[in-house]
Amino acid sequence: MPPSFPQRLFADVLGAVPEAEVRGDAIIGDVAFDSRDVTPGALFFCVSGATVDGHDFAMAAIEAGAAALVVERWLDVDVPQAKVPSVRRAMGPVSARAFGDPASAMTMLGVTGTNGKTTTTYLVEGIVRAAGFRAGVIGTTGARADGQPVPLVRTTPEAPDLHRLLARMRDAGVEVVAMEVSSHALDQDRVGGVRFDAVAFTNLSQDHLDYHPSMAAYFAAKASVFTPEHAVRGTVNADDPWGRRLLEEPAIPLATFAIDRDADLRATDVVVTREGLEFRLGDLTIRSDLRGRFNVSNVLAAMSLARAANIPDAVAAGGVETVSEVPGRVEVVDAGQRSLVVVDYAHTPDSILHVLQAARPLTTGRLIVVFGCGGDRDRAKRPLMGQAATANADLTIITSDNPRSEDPRTIIAEIEPGAVLGGGEFRVEPDRRAAIRAAVREAGEGDTVVIAGKGHEDYQELAGGTVHFDDREVAREELMAIREDA
């Protein structure tokens, strides 16, 4: 169901941008930034992008029924216009006002960082539901409003779509929203018009340097959400060096969580097994079916956000126990085989390191990893991922990930120097299915196979287009084929 949209005057919704110059007025019934999505009565944002200028599509939007425009330069058209310094920056606050400021009607909990965002939002959802509230989730695997799935194009949607989604959640009775906040979204003002009640910082490691010019710029994008404009308070992983940097000059009140350092929430007596994890938080024993020491930090992040939402630790602990698995995050593929096979979204040097470190205690035999690197993305991390893999696994099979416009063999060639430095045995198999087949056939009793990089994704992006490919399905099919051959 579409969200309710209180019809508003154009001049009223532009009141969210004090510097706007408004010419004319109209009744606004929707918002859009893509002329193909314009409906009669919509307000159209003429966004100036890197390759496309929305001003060039103003006439197409008007022909589709746009009632008014938000522009950066006056256009010779016969509809009301508002001129602003930046249409992109205006989209968030204007869309928020147009939809009746839905974020303010709910408790908004954000999660930012390189790794752990998705798992943390799933844990927050479990905690919120255990506390008796209706939960909303927005992130990499899509969105859910009180348990009902809502597809998303991006981890963090563009501002008009975000506020439309939040309005839908509000109308569905959602009381608390757990939302992943990406660095791209912050840099591109996609979360404008949202002020989080609390935001968690999970960690920072090399990623997205195809977009951000440096790690400092990447950190600055993440850190920008920890300001009064975007959040009331925050909580930070004190074990992470970038987290500690964030704590040095706080712009908002910050709490901390950690395993190895003193913190407001500190895990002690940590035990990680093949079945899950357990630790102490003060007088409480926290148990989770999630595997890997890094998930202790994710649990702490979720519980710290729960505190910000006034949910008691004991209630939060019960909610944590309800989350048995997160799609594509150390997700077990069980076809009755003797080995342990898991699929994980790890696609950075740090996440490869951590998932292999998590798998090692679960392994009595050999640890095997299958991974590749995405095309048209940060090339500098490719050898680093190769080194992290071969340094921590007994056998690495380097393959294709989402090569996009690049030749998979060129990507693999940039991974290999790091793989050599890591020192462990590795093989190259550009065909991803063949690589997975080789890994699961190689594995015996006590061995663990980690299939890394794509996680929950059910597609592969190739130069010729997108094809269906789900690591979990492929692994299960290949495991079943082994049983049939036996």
Q: Which of 179-188, 191-200, 349-358 has the highest mean pLDDT?
A: 191-200
Name the CATH architecture for the domain at 331-485: Alpha-Beta Complex (3.90)
CATH of domain 8-87+94-98: 3.40.1390.10
Phi, psi (5° rounding) for residue 343?
Answer: -110, 135
Mean pLDDT of all residues in 284-297: 95
What's the predicted TM-score (pTM) here?
0.90
Phi, psi (5° rounding) for residue 425?
Answer: -70, 135
pLDDT above 70: residue 206: no
The C-alpha atoms of residue 434 and residue 126 are separated, in whole angstroms, by 37
| Contact by Cβ (8 Å): 451, 341 | yes
- Angle (CA) 457-142-454 rounded to 5° is 15
- In this prediction, what percent of the chain has a pLDDT beyond 70? 96
- Which of 183, 141, 191, 129 has the alpha carbon at shortest distance from 166? 191
pLDDT in tens, 374-429: 999 989 999 999 999 999 999 999 999 999 999 999 999 999 999 999 999 999 99
**Per-state percent for the chain, helix, strand, coil, to nearest 5:** 35, 25, 40
The C-alpha atoms of residue 449 and residue 368 are separated, in whole angstroms, by 5
Q: Where along the chain do its domains lie? A: 8-87+94-98, 102-321, 331-485
| Contact by Cβ (8 Å): 461, 316 | no
The confidence score (pLDDT) of residue 218 equals 84
Count other Cβ atoms within 10 Å, centred on residue 438: 19
The confidence score (pLDDT) of residue 5 equals 65
Mean pLDDT of all residues in 155-177: 93
For residue 100 the two structure tokens come to 């009746």
Q: What kind and span of H or E run contains 160?
A: helix 159-171
The burial class, CB within 10 Å (0-12 / 13-18 / 19+), for 144 is buried
The confidence score (pLDDT) of residue 187 equals 83
- Which of 113, 141, 294 has the alpha carbon at shortest distance from 207? 113
Name the CATH architecture for the domain at 102-321: 3-Layer(aba) Sandwich (3.40)
The confidence score (pLDDT) of residue 1 equals 40
The C-alpha atoms of residue 416 and residue 400 are separated, in whole angstroms, by 13
pLDDT above 60: residue 346: yes
The confidence score (pLDDT) of residue 2 equals 53
SS3 assignment, position 258: strand
pLDDT above 90: residue 255: yes
Q: How confident is the model at residue 3 (pLDDT cuts 50, 70, 90)?
A: low
Mean pLDDT of all residues in 304-316: 97
The C-alpha atoms of residue 246 and residue 243 are separated, in whole angstroms, by 5
The C-alpha atoms of residue 221 and residue 401 are separated, in whole angstroms, by 27
